[in-house]
Structure 1
């Protein structure tokens, strides 16, 4: 016992220092172990989050590509077929051309000149009308399906966990979807009369100094078409042309404010449907009146015009020495079926679809999901 006391007295300081070091070491070990475990847990959480992000990106990419396929294979062909028929019926030049053919030797010079001038206006009106309508309708429908697809993705993602696949559920109301997509026919129905009138007005203004004997080359024809498009697009209020593509905003039912106590007792399934449809239409109009859409519309129209004129130039003397305007008019009539051909056979629509600016625009439109 005395040995222990002596040992404690002689080595007490060393024992305290040793115990302190051991205790500190153990505490540091526990802290290091806890820190290491937290880092491992954090790394696992980050790995799971990365996997979920990759899954979402993969699903979004697949969904986006499916949306574009729907536009090309289903919605656009139906609308294009309807549009093509309306253009052919609304502007018919066959009677004028038949009168010119049958009236050889019987018509007076003034009568011939009058018919030729009328044919000049109608031919250019139908060409520019077809070019503008096909271009804008294709862009409009792609805006529609991307907005609709974006809503579908958001609604589905809110109701599903990360372990579910988006394609397993269909949460979009079919009536709303059908009503929204079918509104693309507005151009070929209610929008067509006013559109024809305004495009024809632009044609008359641009062609008033053009004589039937004037020689047209590819560059002159392209410049003339672009002038007509510029006059049409810039005449009237800003974005007036949007009202030819979709129902004018002032004619649609006002949106229902779900936060208003006055409306709580008035909400019915039909009212909810109107509100959903109206929301989609408001978003569509916001896109169409944006600077970004105006830019890609201009790029698409220029690309379409240049490709069409180039194709006309490769089929005759238009691309070399040019030809008189009178001989050009029948050639213009021959281009209408090519311009309004179904999407699968319409190389102009494919050309627009593959433009980098157009692809980027719709990628950003789909990805810019509201919170």
Structure 2
């Protein structure tokens, strides 16, 4: 029997080989088709998951933008209460200052520069911390949807949000304002009210204040954002973990670098706003006429205006006494943004401009996206 099989195989060797190849190819084709279907299903699943994650992330970003606009108004109101210039202005107007006019102006000088610097730091920290905080929440919530669970309840979200907001707009802000005021006093004590300043001199003053403040803070920005050891004091384990995650991000180098860049950009906005008042306005109208509560903000006369070869005013050659810049700066920092995004975009007030700049900051958006990506997996 075996010899017959060998003989049959020998006679039909080619047919057997071809048949074997065909059968093997059939199996291989079916295997390849099955793997292709599995690959396609996997690709579709990944695409749908990426789409859902992207939609959820975009929704988180919209929520963040709305929260920034809403909370900036309250933050600015708190800063104005800390640096109350209205009582000094009222005393200067009524001439009941009993020979303390110079002292009142010196105090107004400190308050105006401290208020402006505090707005720069506070708004920058608010926008950056909210971008991180809400993307951590977003990441956790997205994981809940994948696992069909509800670990992050409404109560946890509320407590987590309030911990940051209450500290940043309360104790954290007061601590920041105190540090800034102390450093403004150190920098401004060498500048008299009669000192004439060109725009680059004003920029140098703010740079000196920023350098002094940063040296005092020593990159410890988290002290203004979250209370110390807050993530050990909550009853819920998930809440403690979320707060610990937030603390880790706020203390990391990327967050500190983004905050530093944001603060630098905000100071650039301040200088741009002040620069508008180094040129005589059209028809002699004062740009702060809507704020009549301020002392006179008249600019230098036409003798101060030096034209370049094109007949345009060379802003770098104009100087103004510090006493004339103080009410300008105070008025710029006394305008509170509204909760209407459209109004803020059309508004020219300083706080709105800084808020819009920070909200559109691509480095902050990238940081927020990276945070969401980490905590949504």
TM norm structure 1: 0.81
Could you tell which deviates more after superposition, 311-320 or 176-185?
311-320
Per the alignment, do residues 278 and 219 of structure 1 end up closer, same or farther by CA in structure 2, a change over 3 Å counting?
farther
- State the distance in 1 between where 2:25 and 2:213 align: 74
Residue among 316, 320, 323 paired with 2:320: 323
- Alignment RMSD (CA, Å): 2.6
* CA shift for structure 1 position 203: 0.7
- State the distance in 2 between where 1:115 and 1:16 align: 114
Which residue matches 1:357?
363
Q: Radius of gyration: which is bigger? A: 1
Aligned partner of residue 171 in structure 2, secondary structure: coil
Paired residues, number: 330
Residue among 117, 121, 127 paired with 2:106: 117
- State the distance in 1 between where 2:38 and 2:155 align: 41
Which residue matches 1:277?
239
Which residue matches 1:369?
375
Residue among 80, 90, 103 paired with 1:98: 90
Matched, 1:152 2:141: yes
Which residue matches 2:172?
191
Q: Contact (CA 8 Å) 1:130, 1:339: kept in 2 or not?
A: no
Matches within 5 A, 1:1-371: 15-73=8-66, 75-103=67-95, 107-108=98-99, 111-159=100-148, 172-183=152-163, 184-236=165-217, 238-249=218-229, 252-254=231-233, 271=235, 273=236, 275-317=237-279, 319=315, 321-338=318-335, 340=337, 342=339, 344=341, 345=344, 346-369=352-375
- State the distance in 2 between where 1:27 and 1:365 align: 56
* CA shift for structure 1 position 107: 4.2
* CA shift for structure 1 position 310: 0.6
Which whole-Å deviations, capped at 9, do the CAs of 1:294-353 have from their partners, x for residues lacking one?
A: 111111111111122212212443855131111111111111144755472123222222
Which residue matches 1:260?
none
Per the alignment, do residues 16 and 336 of structure 1 end up closer, same or farther by CA in structure 2, a change over 3 Å counting?
same
- State the distance in 2 between where 1:80 and 1:234 align: 26
- State the distance in 2 between where 1:254 and 1:179 align: 12
TM norm structure 2: 0.80
Q: Contact (CA 8 Å) 1:218, 1:310: kept in 2 or not?
A: no
* CA shift for structure 1 position 369: 3.3
* CA shift for structure 1 position 124: 0.8
- State the distance in 1 between where 2:136 and 2:53 align: 14
Aligned partner of residue 58 in structure 1, secondary structure: helix
Which whole-Å deviations, capped at 9, do the CAs of 1:195-234 have from their partners, x for residues lacking one?
A: 2211111111222222212223333223322332232122
- State the distance in 2 between where 1:322 and 1:153 align: 56
- State the distance in 2 between where 1:338 and 1:367 align: 37
Q: Contact (CA 8 Å) 1:187, 1:246: kept in 2 or not?
A: yes
Q: Contact (CA 8 Å) 1:218, 1:322: kept in 2 or not?
A: yes
* CA shift for structure 1 position 170: 6.4
- State the distance in 2 between where 1:361 and 1:312 align: 31
Which whole-Å deviations, capped at 9, do the CAs of 1:163-214 have from their partners, x for residues lacking one?
A: xxxxxx8663000001111221312222232222111111112222222122
Q: Contact (CA 8 Å) 2:231, 2:241: kept in 1 or not?
A: no
